Amino acid sequence: MNRDPKTMFTETPLVRSKFRQEAAAKWIFAGMAAAMIVPLLLILGYLVERAWPSLSLGFILDVPIRGMKEGGIWPAFVGTIYLVFISLAVSAPIGILAAVYLNEYAKDNWLNRIINLAVINLAGVPSIVHALFGLGAFVYAAKFGYSIISASLTLAIMTLPVIVASTREALASVPRSFREACWNVGATRWQTIQAIVLPNSISGILTGVILQVSRAAGETAPIMFTGAVFFKAVQKGDLFPYQLHEQCMALSMHLYTISTQVPGVKESIPFATAVVLLGLVLVVNAAAITLRVWLRNRKKW
Amino acid sequence: MSDTPPLSITTRKLNLWYAKFQALINVDVDIKHGIITSLIGPSGCGKTTLLRCFNRVNERYGYVTTTGEIKLLGKNIYDPDVSLIELRKSVGMVFQRPNPLPISVYENVVFGMKIHHERSQLTRAALDEAVEKALTETGLWKDLKDRLDHRATALQLEQQQKLCIARLLPLKPEIILMDEPCSALDVEGTRAIEELMFALKGRYTIVIVTHNMAQARRASDECIFMLLGELIEHSRTEDLFLKPRNPKTAEYIEGRYG
C-alpha cells in the first residue's frame, strides 16, 4: 500500500475529463429535445395568433358565405367527422379482428411473415397512392361514385395497416404466462382471448385506433380524389347534412381550397380553420390518452 | 404384481425434437399413482420437456416432433380420440413463476370450471362451494376469505403459487405437474408449498421438476435423474441419494457437475 492517504479518492484529470464529456452529452441531448419542442410551440403560437380574429364557437357552427370569403366552416367540420367516423367504423373491426387472428391463431410460418411484412409496408404507402387506388376501386369499379362512402373506404384502407400493427403490438404485450395458465387448464384459444387477452390489451388497441383519427382527419389527397368537394350548401348547425352517396366538404380540403383556390379570403379564416383541425386532433388524442390511463389503472400486474 | 401400486404415467421409447435438436432420447418411465415423483438433473437435461409431454402442452410451442408412447392411467394420450382440452383438464400444471390470471382470487379458482361447463350448469352456490373447498385444501381460505374479490396478481408470491395450485383442484385432476414451483419463493414459501404437496399426495399424482436436490430429497417419494435427454436412474428417493446405481447419478448428487 504505497498510496498517499491524502490524495486517495480525490479527482484525477481523467475524472475531470469524464465530467466534461458528461456535461457536453447532457447539453447536446437537451438541445435536441428543445429543437423538437420549440418549433412545435412556435407553429401553434403563430397559428393561434393569426387565427385569433376569427376564432369563436360561431366560426365552427356557421356556414361559409360570400363565395367562402367569410363566414364559418360548419359543412367542412361535419364532413370531416363523417369521414373519420365511417372510415374507422369500417377499418377498426376488420383491423382488430385480423390482428387477433394473426397474433393468436396463425402459425409462425412464411405466409404469416409475408403478411406481417406486407402490413408494415402498406403502412408506409404514400396517401396519394391510396387516393388513386380508392378512385379506381371505389369510385369507378364499385360504382360508388364520388361520395362519402368512397372517401371513407379509401381512408379505411389507409388506416387499416396501422391499426393491424398497433393491435398486434398490444396483443403481444400480454404476458405469455397468462396464456400458458389458460392452456394448461384446457382453455381453447377463443376462451383465452375472450377471458384474458382482450381485457388486458384493450387499452392499447383503443389507443391505436383513436390515434388513427388524426390521420384520417388530416389527409387531403385520398378524399380529394374520391369524395370531397369544394363547396356544398348546408344549413347552419345541421347535424346530418350529407347522405352517404353524396360528396361532402372536409376540413383539410377546405383549408387547401380557401388558402390556394379562392382569392380575397379574409386573412384569419384559413388560420382559424387550421386551428380547428388541430384542435379536433388534439381533443381526440387527449381522449385517447385519458382512456388509456383509465384502463391502465384498472389493470394491475 | 399385486403389491405394486398402479401406474399413473408410463412412457415407452419417448423421443422428442425441438426442430433439429433432440431433447428426449428413448425415455421409458413408470410413475406410480398417488405419490410425489421428482425429476432432477442439470439444466437442459429435458426435465421440463418431459413434464410438458404429459399434458401435450409442448405442442403449443411449435416445431416439436414427438415419437413413442405416453400412457396416462393406461390410456395412450396420442390416441386419435383424445381431446387435448379434456386431457389438460385432468393434468394440471404449476409453473416456475406463479402465474395467477389478472382477475380476482374468486374468478381464478372458478376459471377452470367456467371454461369446462355450460354457463347454465353452474350455480352461484356451486361456485362458492368450489372456491371454499379449493382454498381450504390449499390453506388459503383463512387468509383470503375476505379478499376473494381482490386481484390475484397483487397477492404475495407464496399465496399466488398456492392459488395456482388451488385453481386446478375444482377440475378434479388426476395428475398435477409442477415445474420448479418453488424457485421464485423464499424459504417460508418453499416450505409452505412442500407441505401442501404432502397434503395433496395420495389423491393426486404429483410430478415435480426441481433444480434443488435438497428439495427432491425432502419432498419426493421417488426420484428420476435425467442427463442430456436420457433417463439415467429412477428409484426410491432414499436409494437414489444414498445408493445410486449409476456412476453419473453419483457424480451429480455429489455436485461434481450441474
Q: Which of A113, A178, A185 to mutate to test binding with chain B, by most B CBs within 10 Å of its CB?
A: A185
* Same domain as A62, residue A40: no
- Alpha carbon separation from B29 to B16, B54, B69, B92, B233 (Å, rounded): 14, 12, 11, 19, 10
Q: What is the three-state SS of chain B?
A: CCCCCCEEEEEEEEEEEECCEEEEEEEEEEEECCCEEEEECCCCCCHHHHHHHCCCHHHHHCCEEEEEEEEECCEECCCCCCCHHHHHHHEEEECCCCCCCCCEHHHHHHHHHHHHCCHHHCCHHHHHHHHHHHHHHCCCHHHHCCCCCCEHHHCCHHHHHHHHHHCCHHHCCCEEEEECCCCCCCHHHHHHHHHHHHHHECCEEEEEECCCHHHHHHHCCEEEEEECCEEEEEEEHHHHHHCCCCHHHHHHHCCCCC
Residues 6+ apart with CB under 8 A from A243: A148
What residues form DSSP beta bridges with B91? Answer: B175
Quick one: angle between helices B105-116 and B157-166, nearest 10? 20
Q: Say if residues B14 and B53 touch (Cβ distance below 8 Å).
A: yes
Tell me if A13 is assigned to some domain: no
Sequential pLDDT tens for chain B (258 residues): 445 568 889 999 999 998 888 989 999 999 998 899 999 988 888 888 999 898 888 877 768 888 999 999 888 988 889 888 888 888 999 998 888 988 889 989 999 888 888 888 888 888 899 999 999 888 888 888 888 888 888 888 888 988 999 999 888 888 999 999 888 888 888 888 898 899 888 889 999 999 888 899 988 999 999 998 889 999 999 888 888 888 888 888 888 776
Asked if residue A264 and residue A200 are part of one domain, the reply reads: yes
Q: Which residues have C-beta within 8 Å of that of residue A90, sequence separation ≥ 6? A: A152, A153, A156
The residue from A54, A77, A99 where one domain ends is A54
Is A210 found in the same domain as A126?
Answer: yes
- Structural domain contains residue A266: yes
CA atoms of B135 and B129, how far apart (whole Å): 10
CB-closest option in B55, B60, B99 to A177: B99
The rounded distance, in Å, linking the Cα atoms of A74 and B51 is 67
pLDDT at A108 over 70: yes
In a domain, B1, yes or no: no
Which strands, in side-by-side order, build the sheet including B7-18? B21-32, B7-18, B64-72, B75-76
A24: pLDDT strictly greater than 90: yes
The ipTM of this complex is 0.81
Which domain CATH number covers B229? Answer: 3.40.50.300
Q: Quick check: B226 and B50 in contact, CB under 8 A?
A: yes
How many structural domains compose chain A? 2
Residue A155 near residue A223 (C-beta atoms within 8 A): yes
Number of domains in chain B: 1
| Predicted local distance difference test score (pLDDT) of residue A73 | 83
The answer to whether residue A62 sits within a structural domain is yes
Model pLDDT for residues A216-254, shown as the tens digit of each residue: 888 888 888 888 887 777 777 777 777 788 888 888 888
Cβ proximity of A171 and A99 under 8 Å: yes
Separation between Cα atoms, residue B35 and residue A152, nearest integer Å: 65
Nearest CA-CA partner of A247 in A146, A153, A155: A146
Name the domain boundary from A8, A32, A54.
A54
Domain of A79, in residue numbers:
57-298
**Do A157 and A64 share a domain, yes or no?**
yes
A142 shares its domain with A261: yes
Looking at the structure, tell me whether residues A75 and A192 fall in a common domain: yes
- Pick from A269, A299, A260: nearest CA to A66: A269
Q: Would you call B97 and A300 a contact, using CB atoms and an 8 Å cutoff?
A: no
Residues A38 and A91 in one domain: no
Residue A177 distance to chain B (closest CA, Å): 6
A57 confidence band (pLDDT: 50, 70, 90) = confident
Confidence of residue A168 (pLDDT cuts 50, 70, 90): very high
Position A270 in a domain: yes
Q: What is the pLDDT of residue A95?
A: 93
Strand B175-179 to strand B91-94: parallel, antiparallel, or no bridges (unpaired)? parallel
Crossing angle of the two packed helices A268-298 and A74-100, in degrees rounded to 10: 30
Residue A109: pLDDT over 90: no
Confirm whether B55 is domain-assigned: yes
Residue B258 lies in a domain: no
Whole-angstrom distance, CA of residue A143 vs CA of residue A149: 11
| CA atoms within 13 A of residue A125's CA, in its CB half-sphere | 24
Residues of A within 8 A of B119 (CB-CB) are: none
Residues in chain B with CB shorter than 8 Å from the CB of A105 are: none
* CB within 8 Å: B101 and A195: yes
User: Using an 8 Å Cβ cutoff, are A276 and A284 in contact?
Assistant: no
A64-65 vs A70-71, strand pairing mode = antiparallel
B-chain residue closest to A188, CA distance: B85
With contacts defined as CB-CB under 8 Å, which chain A residues touch B102? 178, 196, 199-200, 299-301
Q: Which domain holds residue B79?
A: 7-253
Q: Are A270 and A59 in contact (CB under 8 A)?
A: no
Exposed/middle/buried for residue B250 (C-beta within 10 Å: 0-12, 13-18, 19+): middle
- Report whether B81 contacts B163 (CB < 8 A): no
In-domain check, residue A10: no
